[in-house]
Amino acid sequence: MATRAMLGVLRKHSIASRIASNYKLLSTLVLAEHEGGSITASSVSAVEAAKSLSEDNSVSILLAGSGTSLKEAAEHAASCHPSVSQVLMSDSDKLSHALAEPWARLIHLVQQKGSYSHIIAASGSFGKNILPRAAALLDVSPITDVIEISGSHQFVRPIYAGNALCTVRYTGSDPCMLTIRSTSFPVAPISDNARSDAAPIFQVDLSTFDEDARGKSRYVKQSSQNTERPDLGNARVVVTGGRGLKSAENFKMIEKLAEKLGAAVGATRAAVDAGFVPNDLQVGQTGKIVAPELYIAFGVSGAIQHLAGIRDSKVIVAVNKDADAPIFQVADYGLVGDLFEVIPELIQKLPEKK
Ligand SMILES: Cc1cc2nc3c(=O)[nH]c(=O)nc-3n(C[C@H](O)[C@H](O)[C@H](O)COP(=O)(O)OP(=O)(O)OC[C@H]3O[C@@H](n4cnc5c(N)ncnc54)[C@H](O)[C@@H]3O)c2cc1C
């Protein structure tokens, strides 16, 4: 059994009653992102992926940050999934913003002490920013965008913008580092997974954390949309607008329709590049990967780079005035029509969202 010293558990904190006196060394570590005191749904998907890599179906979660929201997120992480066996919490001002340099050094530190066989993060901007840098520090090559785990060192990932699937075998040394597409590892709603016996939470000993870990980047500010719309990556319904909307002003129709449907708003890269909406709404190969139950596309041609982000949607509906638009080849329902007539009619006829 591993000793506390091995993972450097030294400090106590306010949730000390939940801090166990010793714990078993486990081999799969999930780097989790948290927001507003909860870990993100995509991080829970990373746990879902990780559970198949842990012999005893148990997974460690690494969380970093500072203050109350970190502690709340650690509590949430400890009960978010039946496979979580421990939460490692790194509380430091140096880690309060997700800058790649200090977080990569933290992973390096935790790996040196924990010798994990696998380290996993969700394939969002958080994981894609941090994991490759941590992999470089650990001198291993990460495998990105995994959609299927077919063995402890064998994975399936899309290539050519999702037009082909590639099975890769990892032959490097430990740790095997992965980013996973959260849409490929769906989890039951968190309340269904929640457990009464929350996993223990441990403080990571940061006494040897490098003072220079801040690196060259500095946190300046975070701007986010103040919206009550669901998160694009996890929404059940997504309404997307393309270049066919023609202007930012017209794009507001998409937002209004999304509001009525309780949907998230997406956009093509052409719509983003034209300045209709900010780029965090971009869906596709270089944007967000979505897998809603219903995806509705207005004025979207269906370029392969866009389709790469929507392939796992359950039902795709397309409205385009060009009957030969490639989007109709993947759509379950298609309407050849003018979006400037169709959207106002939908907005008018759909009931108000309760
Ligand atoms: C490396 C790389 C990565 C990329 N990554 C992405 C990505 O992540 N996501 C992405 O979306 N794209 C991406 N692209 C860009 C992609 O190739 C396309 O250029 C883009 O998806 C096109 O967007 P669009 O469908 O809005 O525009 P267009 O291709 O211009 O299509 C507009 C459509 O609107 C229709 N339309 C026009 N007016 C109306 C109307 N009144 N009513 C109904 N329909 C109308 C037209 O018939 C047309 O089909 C990438 C490209 C490259 C090279």
Nearest atom in ligand 1 to 267's CA: 11
Between 57 and 265, name the one with better pLDDT.
Answer: 265
Whether the pLDDT of residue 26 is over 70: the answer is no
Buried b (16+ CB within 10 A) or exposed e, 207-233: eebeeebeeeeeeeeeeeeeeeebebb
Ranking 33-42, 108-117, 227-236, 285-294 by mean pLDDT, the lowest is: 227-236
For 237-349, CATH gives: 3.40.50.1220
Residue 53 in contact with residue 32, Cβ under 8 Å?
Answer: no
Residue 5 confidence (pLDDT): 34
| 336 CA → ligand 1 middle, Å | 16
| pLDDT for res 190 | 56
Any ligand 1 atom below 6 A from CB of 269? yes
Nearest CA to ligand 1 atom 48: 301
Range from 190-194, 210-214, 347-351 carrying the lowest mean pLDDT: 190-194
Q: What is the ipTM, given to two decimal places?
A: 0.99
| Nearest atom in ligand 1 to 268's CA | 11
Residue 234: the pLDDT is: 83
- Is the CB of 243 within 6 Å of ligand 1? yes
Residue nearest to atom 49 of ligand 1 (CA): 301
Q: What is the pLDDT of residue 245?
A: 98
pLDDT greater at residue 157 or residue 215: 157
| pLDDT, average across residues 75-81 | 94
All structural domains of the chain with their residue ranges = 4-214, 237-349
The binding site for FAD comprises 243, 268-269, 282-286, 299-306, 320
Q: Does 284 contact ligand 1 (Cβ within 6 A)?
A: yes
**C-beta of residue 124 within 8 angstroms of C-beta of residue 233:** yes
Protein residue closest via CA to atom 50 of ligand 1: 305
pLDDT attached to residue 212: 64
pLDDT of residue 6: 34
% of the chain residues with pLDDT over 70: 87
180 within ligand 1 shell (Cβ under 6 A):
no
Task: Examine the pLDDT at 3 and tell me if it is beyond 90.
Answer: no
Q: What percent of the chain has pLDDT over 90?
A: 71
| Pocket perturbation via mutation, ligand 1, pick of 159, 240, 285 by most ligand atoms within 8 A of CB | 285
- For ligand 1, pick from 246, 300, 327 the residue to mutate: most ligand atoms within 8 Å of CB: 300
- Judged by average pLDDT, the poorest of 47-56, 136-145, 244-253, 289-298 is 47-56
Whose tokens are 């650690």? That residue is 74
What band does 46 get if pLDDT is binned at 50, 70 and 90? very high
Q: Which is more confidently placed, 302 or 7?
A: 302
With beta carbons less than 8 A apart as the criterion, state whether 68 and 13 touch. Answer: no
Residue 11 has pLDDT above 90, yes or no: no
- CA 226 to centroid of ligand 1, rounded, Å: 26
Q: Whole-angstrom Cα distance, residue 31 to residue 331?
A: 36
Nearest CA to ligand 1 atom 51: 305
* Average confidence score pLDDT of the chain: 88
pLDDT digits (tens, 9 = 90+) for 105-162: 999 999 999 999 999 999 988 999 999 999 999 999 999 999 999 999 999 999 988 8
Element (H, E) at 346: helix 339-349
CATH code of the region 4-214: 3.40.50.620
With a 6 Å cutoff on the Cβ, whether 287 touches ligand 1 is: yes
**pLDDT surpasses 90 at 341:** yes
Q: Do 126 and 45 form a contact (C-beta atoms < 8 A)?
A: no
- Helix or strand run (H / E) with residue 137: helix 125-137
Q: Whose CA is nearest to atom 7 of ligand 1?
A: 284
Residue 283 CA to ligand 1 centre (angstroms): 11
pLDDT band at 163 (very low <50, low <70, confident <90, very high): confident
- Ligand 1 atom, smallest distance to 327 CA: 49
Looking at residue 208, what is its pLDDT? 84
Which whole number is the average pLDDT over 322-338?
Answer: 98
Measured distance CA(32)–CA(43) in Å, rounded: 5
- The preferred substitution site among 301, 336, 338 for testing ligand 1, maximizing ligand atoms within 8 Å of CB, is 301
- C-beta of residue 338 within 8 angstroms of C-beta of residue 293: no
Domain 4-214 identical in fold to domain 237-349: yes
pLDDT at 191: 56
Query: Considering only CA atoms, which of 43, 204, 21 is closest in space to residue 111?
Result: 204
317 has which bridge partners?
296, 333
- Residue 187: pLDDT over 60: yes
Cα–Cα distance between 92 and 209 in angstroms, integer? 10
Task: Quote the pLDDT of residue 192.
Answer: 52
Structure confidence at residue 223 (pLDDT): 74
Q: What is the dihedral of CA 294, 295, 297, 303, to 10 degrees?
A: -150
Q: How far apart are CA 44 and CA 182, in angstroms?
A: 8
Give the CA distances from residue 99 to residues 65, 86, 186, 279, in Å, rounded to whole numbers and listed in that order. Answer: 11, 24, 27, 20
User: Does position 55 have pLDDT exceeding 80, yes or no?
Assistant: no
**Neighbouring C-beta atoms of residue 315, cutoff 10 Å:** 13
Best of 243, 250, 280, 319 to mutate for ligand 1, by most ligand atoms within 8 A of CB? 243
Query: What is the CA(193)–ligand 1 centre distance, in A?
Result: 39
C-alpha 230/C-alpha 333 separation (Å) is 24
The reported pLDDT for the residue numbered 33 is 96
pLDDT at 232 over 70: yes
The answer, yes or no, to whether residue 71 has pLDDT greater than 80, is: yes
| Average pLDDT score over residue span 204-222 | 79
Atom number in ligand 1 closest to CA 243: 26
